[in-house]
Chains A and B, each alone.
Chain A
């Protein structure tokens, strides 16, 4: 009965309040679910590809470079002991002319049957019913592709397929189509399978393989197998690769979850606010029930149950909403992950029981937590107070009241304590590569500003009173006076909106600073005249390569002053996958200008590297592994692990995993890889870039499929990738703003319902409906302006932590502070406009107030 009176009936009688509350929780939950779903999907796509390609193998001998197939001979003694093994060449490349990335899997089609399940949809046959039917698959230009890939690219049996693997371009013939199962599903079907010997012959890998898949029936054999592994390779479980990828993406994922946390935090404010307002509005009913003998715990339980009901319904709605949002996020982060981390096409979104449970838990627990404090307050109030109606009356303050009251002093003290803790936390180092202290510092800054919310609202409204009166007359004055009069309700809405705006400003400042830093860095780094690339885009840089033969042709071109051949690949360092880059250091030292941290000049670092067979490392590498000039690092080479001295540390924003760069000569010697991913060209003085570009493309284009791009185009492309990377960030912040605006709508709607009598009085005294609505929108504008001002201040503080603590610790990048004025001004204008709209929606309620009913004596 108590539950019905206090909770259930009001839920149905006030559909607007109910809807807004549920929507607030739902949006918060949706963001978290969406990010969990999209993260899971992106990673699952990668790990499923790895599993599909690995087949039944429980161990693999893998290497960052191709190694001799002699290793297979060393494994022969294990065959009688049940160990099965299959050689594999696993290479990335592109399909010409579309330049789509493709995975080429070279396998021994016969021994491979132990490992992978190939189900042919159709094959080219000789037309005879014999064992030779399938022999065409072993033809020296034969490849097998998934039927889905064939369908998407209009390929049929017998169609030619041009592959460019490690800079070698070959036309192959499709001789078999695979059903969509097993390896045919890896990499979203963008895979080409061919006989090992065919791949070795066609792509210059004679006698070499990149991997051996193993089925080891007995773990006790591992130490023995370990002994026959070639020096440049290592024995590991296939799952190890997934773990590494997961680790690589961790900082990125943590950042996404932190942003989702903001939306959720704003949502929590909203729930707290709604529950508080709904309890305040039912104070009289609580009083009556308590007078009639309802116990404190019964009242408390009723309101907590209300929080649970809202939490549960909001969570379910949020999970549904989150699924849709995940699809959108996946489109955005899929691109980022592909551009910066791994090549993987995210698959369909799968709502697992784990994610459903997490979504429901997040929504329910948070709304429960939000409900507890106001429920305690309501439960503890004395019935006599509640009945007299003196509690929670709008409390105006005298205008000339300048002395600080004790609750205000307490708020200031709490804020100062929070800020001091935040400062201390921001000085702590990262934990396990994650800026945990930094994130907690952000929470303390938010708490500090929230503690000040009431003071900020009061102060700002007081400041606005005179200008509002001057601009909008009595309507403006009433509006500015009304917000601080309902401080308990409005300050929470204002804190939520401030938080959303603050985070938005902070992220805008961080992204803006980052963008400006990258722009300056790109300008300095990309100083050459032209870049020659085997593919048009930057995103598939590792897949498309030139053969070393292009060097001789380049040397013959008269207008080229010098060229620097770059090649990058992944390499394991400390069990992390870092980027190993190489270039002609002598050319770079003379013509290029790498932004250095130590030593001061890049030419010195590069010449030292050549002289000492050393490397230069990126700032993120240096910070992550605490290595600097003079230290040594050990990398796996084809000759086994080798130690390299560090001769320089340079700034780099292309990669947060860390980059190790070495001279091309040393790279070829260490990794037996002379392919080239990009040629950086410096022209002789007086040579026109466009003429040179056309000439280069005409000379080298047909032979090497080379594209020449100017440094301006490269810069543009870098900035484009940068902007794409941060799209998700903006999308999440937009969600936080939406949640906050919902909060303002909710608060104002509740205030209007509560102030029915007051608004009716104003109407009786001669205010028109339009004037009342204008007053309510102006009230919303006071809330909007207050929150915007507080949010701007909070944003600057938070951006400092984001740039100098979180970003530095998570990614190892030094960013110079820069205010993107236009971006921030636009965002603030949009949020302010949104807060006005938030006032417009509930102001429609004003029209519906029945004057006579509202004016009835209490």
Chain B
């Protein structure tokens, strides 16, 4: 799924207009279908907000967002819900499993919402759970799982309906380094085998190394892009850069560490 942002700004409303907090400023961005892009930046840089805008969880204050040819910023609530339900898989820092459902039911959730036939739900959930190594934990409840297992269950939920777009917000932020690495390997292997577009927000360089390229976010602006394989790079711009025509990524290249040689994030 291709992602395009055109002159997107975002502000959180304050008590009056002057108190509004500008979080993102005039961002244009083009991520090609099948890319594994990493949004990297410090806490409060605006990367999670950017992820929310891409994921149709939030709407921009101005500008347009396109997923493939659909302008999501113009969709009504019901269409946005359907888009999230069918086309996007989410992976969160705090796993966000539904505590009242067991692992199987959690993973089956997107399929249940889409009223998929029972047999299909069964086989697809089993396949997703096997692919994340949780085949034997299907009847367990979230509070009976370790952090790593919870995140694997959340990943299974994100892929079970085979969405063309997967968004991951600090997926290793709440895990130890060993489990973090395991999760990143899993996401990488999913990207390899299913080829969805993946956008992952992280502040860890170690995690960023798993993506195809990095989009650096600082102070609500996209300040630079580094690619791992030079053929794949997105078009980006922000107020810091010349507007109108999105600048090419190579204009603001930044070196990206090789995941195999980098030290694990703590």
**Contacts known (A478-B100, A766-B86); A855 close to B109, Cβ less than 8 A:** no
Do B85 and A765 touch across chains, with their CB atoms under 8 A apart? yes
Do A485 and B100 touch across chains, with their CB atoms under 8 A apart? yes
Which residue, of B98, B110, B144, B170, has the highest number of chain A Cβ atoms within 10 A?
B98
**Contacts known (A478-B98, A857-B93, A857-B94); A766 close to B48, Cβ less than 8 A:** no
- B49 CB to closest chain A CB (Å) equals 7
Inter-chain CA distance A473–B48, complex, in Å, is 32
Inter-chain CA distance A763–B88, complex, in Å, is 12
CB-contacts of A800-858 with B (<8 A): 851-852, 855-858
Which residue, of B84, B98, B100, B109, has the highest number of chain A Cβ atoms within 10 A?
B100
CB of A4 closer than 8 Å to a CB of B: no
Q: B143 contacts which of A396, A478, A851 (Cβ < 8 Å)?
A: A396
Mark contacts of B72-99 with chain A using CB atoms, 8 A cut-off: 1 yes-contact digit, 0 otherwise: 0000011001101110001011101011
- B161 CB to closest chain A CB (Å) equals 9
CB-contacts of B32-50 with A (<8 A): 48-49
Closest to A761 in B: B96
CB-contacts of B131-170 with A (<8 A): 139, 141-144, 157, 169-170
Q: A474 contacts which of B92, B113, B142 (Cβ < 8 Å)?
A: B113
Among listed B51-59, B175-183, B238-246, B258-266, interface-contacting one:
B51-59
Do A398 and B94 touch across chains, with their CB atoms under 8 A apart? no
Q: B49 contacts which of A477, A757, A852 (Cβ < 8 Å)?
A: A852
**Contacts known (A765-B90, A855-B57); A478 close to B101, Cβ less than 8 A:** yes
Q: Which residues of A contact B93 (CB under 8 A)?
A: 857
Q: Which residues of A contact B99 (CB under 8 A)?
A: 393-396, 485, 758
Q: A766 contacts which of B77, B98, B102, B110 (Cβ < 8 Å)?
A: B110
Inter-chain CA distance A396–B101, complex, in Å, is 8
CB of B62 closer than 8 Å to a CB of A: no
Inter-chain CA distance A387–B96, complex, in Å, is 19
Q: Which residues of B contact A857 (CB under 8 A)?
A: 48, 93-94, 169-170, 173
Q: Which residues of B contact A856 (CB under 8 A)?
A: 48
Inter-chain CA distance A761–B157, complex, in Å, is 13
Do A481 and B101 touch across chains, with their CB atoms under 8 A apart? yes
Q: Which residues of B contact A768 (CB under 8 A)?
A: 77-78, 81
CB of A767 closer than 8 Å to a CB of B: yes
Mark contacts of B208-238 with chain A using CB atoms, 8 A cut-off: 1 yes-contact digit, 0 otherwise: 0000000000000000000000000000000
- In the complex, the number of residue pairs spanning A and B with C-beta atoms less than 8 Å apart equals 85
Do A764 and B90 touch across chains, with their CB atoms under 8 A apart? yes
Q: Which residues of A contact B110 (CB under 8 A)?
A: 765-766
Q: Which residues of A contact B58 (CB under 8 A)?
A: 851-852
Q: Which residues of B contact A851 (CB under 8 A)?
A: 52, 57-58
**Contacts known (A396-B143, A764-B84); A474 close to B112, Cβ less than 8 A:** yes
Inter-chain CA distance A767–B78, complex, in Å, is 9
Q: Which residues of A contact B92 (CB under 8 A)?
A: 855
Q: Which residues of A contact B100 (CB under 8 A)?
A: 394, 396, 478, 481-482, 485
Do B84 and A765 touch across chains, with their CB atoms under 8 A apart? yes
Inter-chain CA distance A39–B192, complex, in Å, is 81
Mark contacts of A396-422 with chain B using CB atoms, 8 A cut-off: 1 yes-contact digit, 0 otherwise: 101110000000000000000000000
Q: B115 contacts which of A393, A473, A482 (Cβ < 8 Å)?
A: A473
Do A474 and B57 touch across chains, with their CB atoms under 8 A apart? no
Closest to A768 in B: B81
Inter-chain CA distance A763–B49, complex, in Å, is 17
Inter-chain CA distance A348–B252, complex, in Å, is 86
Mark contacts of A752-796 with chain B using CB atoms, 8 A cut-off: 1 yes-contact digit, 0 otherwise: 000001100111111111010000000000000000000000000
Mark contacts of A465-496 with chain B using CB atoms, 8 A cut-off: 1 yes-contact digit, 0 otherwise: 00000000110011001100100000000000
Do B84 and A396 touch across chains, with their CB atoms under 8 A apart? no
Inter-chain CA distance A517–B99, complex, in Å, is 53
Do B98 and A758 touch across chains, with their CB atoms under 8 A apart? yes
CB of B6 closer than 8 Å to a CB of A: no
- B122 CB to closest chain A CB (Å) equals 14
CB of B30 closer than 8 Å to a CB of A: no
Do B81 and A858 touch across chains, with their CB atoms under 8 A apart? no
Q: Which residues of A contact B90 (CB under 8 A)?
A: 764-765
- B32 CB to closest chain A CB (Å) equals 24
Inter-chain CA distance A398–B57, complex, in Å, is 32
Inter-chain CA distance A399–B85, complex, in Å, is 27
**Contacts known (A474-B112, A768-B78, A852-B58); A762 close to B94, Cβ less than 8 A:** no
- B159 CB to closest chain A CB (Å) equals 13
Inter-chain CA distance A482–B100, complex, in Å, is 6
Inter-chain CA distance A758–B101, complex, in Å, is 12
- B8 CB to closest chain A CB (Å) equals 14
- A263 CB to closest chain B CB (Å) equals 34
CB of B26 closer than 8 Å to a CB of A: no
Do B81 and A766 touch across chains, with their CB atoms under 8 A apart? yes
Closest to A399 in B: B102
- A357 CB to closest chain B CB (Å) equals 43
- A153 CB to closest chain B CB (Å) equals 67
Q: Which residues of A contact B115 (CB under 8 A)?
A: 473
Q: B98 contacts which of A761, A771, A855, A858 (Cβ < 8 Å)?
A: A761
Which residue, of A400, A478, A764, A769, has the highest number of chain B Cβ atoms within 10 A?
A764
- A759 CB to closest chain B CB (Å) equals 11
Do B113 and A766 touch across chains, with their CB atoms under 8 A apart? yes
* 9 additional A-B residue pairs with CB within 8 Å, beyond A473-B115, A855-B57: A393-B143, A396-B99, A396-B100, A478-B101, A762-B98, A764-B90, A766-B82, A769-B81, A851-B57
Can you offer 23 A-B residue contacts whose CB atoms are under 8 A? Answer: A394-B99, A394-B100, A396-B141, A398-B141, A399-B102, A473-B112, A478-B98, A481-B100, A758-B98, A761-B96, A763-B81, A764-B90, A766-B81, A766-B82, A766-B84, A766-B86, A766-B114, A767-B81, A767-B85, A768-B81, A857-B169, A857-B170, A857-B173
Leading 3 A-B pairs by shortest Cβ distance: A766-B85, A481-B100, A852-B58
